[in-house]
């Protein structure tokens, strides 16, 4: 049993140390290697978005990219749309949770569960799903704009 636990732990530590030692991916080389794909991507097409997302996942961690996007693209129209849609999504989820908790405090458990299942959950699901509908297209367009700005800054 100890061997089963120790092996994944050792692999995790080795992977962490390998990433920490200097095999850090350079965003500029990623853009220069994939500039044709970035220029030709059409966010409206699902196949292009999927190909781009798979390529992006293999090369960049989300945390470092999110910080860069906030710094460099905060005035971009797509960044503002993406950020606002995330706020609406989380607001809808929060209102559903607050409504559920309020109904559970006021009513008895049977009535609260019936009201929650018939009204609160479906309304919350619809309100939370509406802002998500176009987020992937906006996200891919935002990343395309960001990478093209890096590419143009490199050539200048």
What are the tens digits of pLDDT across the range 52-111? 887 777 666 555 666 777 788 888 888 888 889 999 999 999 999 999 999 999 998 899
Residues of the chain with pLDDT > 90, as a percent, come to 28
Range from 19-28, 79-88, 109-118 carrying the lowest mean pLDDT = 19-28
Which tokens hold the place of 134?
């176009």
The rounded Cα 138 to chain-centroid distance in angstroms is 11
Q: Which is nearest to 34 in space by CA: 47, 53, 6?
A: 53
The continuous run of DSSP H or E covering 129 comes out as helix 121-132
Q: What is the pTM of this model?
A: 0.65
The band of 156, judged by pLDDT with boundaries at 50, 70 and 90, is: low
What values do phi and psi take at 41, rounded to 5? Answer: -70, 140
């Amino acid at each position: 049993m100890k061997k089963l636990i120790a092996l994944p732990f050792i692999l995790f530590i080795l992977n962490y140390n390998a990433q920490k030692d200097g095999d850090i991916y350079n965003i500029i080389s990623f853009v220069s290697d994939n500039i044709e794909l970035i220029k030709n991507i059409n966010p409206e097409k699902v196949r292009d978005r999927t190909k781009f997302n798979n390529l992006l996942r293999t090369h960049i961690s989300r945390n470092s990219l999110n910080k860069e996007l906030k710094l460099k693209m905060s005035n971009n129209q797509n960044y503002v749309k993406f950020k606002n849609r995330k706020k609406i999504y989380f607001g809808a989820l929060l209102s559903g949770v607050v409504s559920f908790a309020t109904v559970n405090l006021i009513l008895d458990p049977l009535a609260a569960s019936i009201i929650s299942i018939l009204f609160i959950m479906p309304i919350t699901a619809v309100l939370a799903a509406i802002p998500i509908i176009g987020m992937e297209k906006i996200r891919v367009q935002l990343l395309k704009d960001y990478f093209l700005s890096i590419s143009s800054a490199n050539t200048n």
